[in-house]
Amino acid sequence: MKVLVVDDERDIQTLFEQRFRKEIRSGEMSFVFAFSGEEALTYLNAHEQEAVLILSDINMPGMSGLELLEHIKAKYHKPPPVVMMITAYGDEENFNLAKKLGADDFLTKPVDFTLLKEKLKPIQ
């Protein structure tokens, strides 16, 4: 399963690579990282259908995670990939807006990787 992680924090790559080191080593999962919404869209345009799951931060300079979500769900990829939103705000409003825009799930920072792995199991 290919996962696209979108976040403006560069250390997120090291974190994911360590957290999923077993899955990566066994070849169960592979990760691609984009550090802005724009970068993520460029990747998706170039590698259609590759990413099954997209994990995106909401608050990023430039295109926000919610805008990216809107783009993906409205204009790209049939069938659209699973999109999970990650944000620092665990508030109702963001949650509802993300849901409305078609987000499949919602995670808050700091990310609970045990929870994330459980959420990923049924998709695999």
> What is the rounded distance in angstroms from the CA atom of residue 104 to the CA atom of residue 114?
18
Q: Does 19 participate in binding another protein (rule CB under 8 A)?
A: yes
Which two structure tokens, joined as six digits, stand for 26? 């066994």
Q: Does 56 participate in binding another protein (rule CB under 8 A)?
A: no
Residue 13 near residue 21, CB atoms below 8 Å: no
Which two structure tokens, joined as six digits, stand for 58? 């909401």
Closest separation between CB of residue 97 and another protein, Å?
6
Element (H, E) at 86: strand 82-87
Question: Segment 76-105, which members bind another protein (CB under 8 A)?
Answer: 88-89, 93-94, 97
Give the residues across from 84 on adjacent strands.
Answer: 55, 105
Closest separation between CB of residue 78 and another protein, Å?
26
Q: With respect to another protein, which residue has the nearer C-beta, 18 or 30?
A: 18
Q: Which residues lie near another protein (CB under 8 A)?
A: 9, 11, 14-15, 18-19, 58-59, 61-64, 66-67, 88-89, 93-94, 97, 109-111, 113
